[in-house]
Chains A and B, each alone.
Chain A
Amino acid sequence: QVTLKESGPGMLQPSKTLSLTCSFSGFSLSTSGMVVSWIRQPSGKSLEWLAAIDWDGDKYYNPSLKSRLTVSKDTSNTQVFLKITSVDIADTATYYCARSYYSGTYVMDAWGQGASVTVSS
């Protein structure tokens, strides 16, 4: 059974760095073709893809946010991390991680339930 779970600080202040962790089971990121993405959704709004990392360690970023994003994975291939620098109120959102495998790099076939992040002073 594939499961993903996001964790984060819950709340942080503007200008700080947001660090998020995606912990998953039921698959390994070392498997050829496996990809884990980060997507966010402000309350009441649509989804925005942020970044992805694949089984080979290649990284992909949303061009509009690339300068602020860093995606990485752990050596055991069971966790993926996302850092967003210089956060502001507009970064307040639910952050999801999701897996892509069978259907293509950017087809997310399993999602976590999301971690809520509030940026506030």
Chain B
Amino acid sequence: DTEVTQTPKHLVMGMTNKKSLKCEQHMGHRAMYWYKQKAKKPPELMFVYSYEKLSINESVPSRFSPECPNSSLLNLHLHALQPEDSALYLCASSQDQKGRGQPQHFGDGTRLSIL
């Protein structure tokens, strides 16, 4: 079982809907990440939170809004998404962002489909 839990596992939404993806870890990690993965491609980094502060935004459109309410939780708020945003969204965590050798631990992901 993964130590990073993501909900929901699947989400279908229309382009005008507002929804949120949730991620939770209880490993005491202080860095958390959102990735987007299209079919047959590697994950692409979207956001990094370090000690609950946003440290990296990879020029992600504003229709994706991340939030880190505390050190264990990471949300991704979705609004007015486009069909091309359909993908697997992966959450990951690591001990902290600066330690290069620390592996990132990933959740199962949320498979998002935009109608």
**Physical interaction between A and B:** no
- Name B residues whose Cβ lies closer than 8 Å to a Cβ of A: none
Which A residues are within 8 Å of any B CB, using their own CB?
none
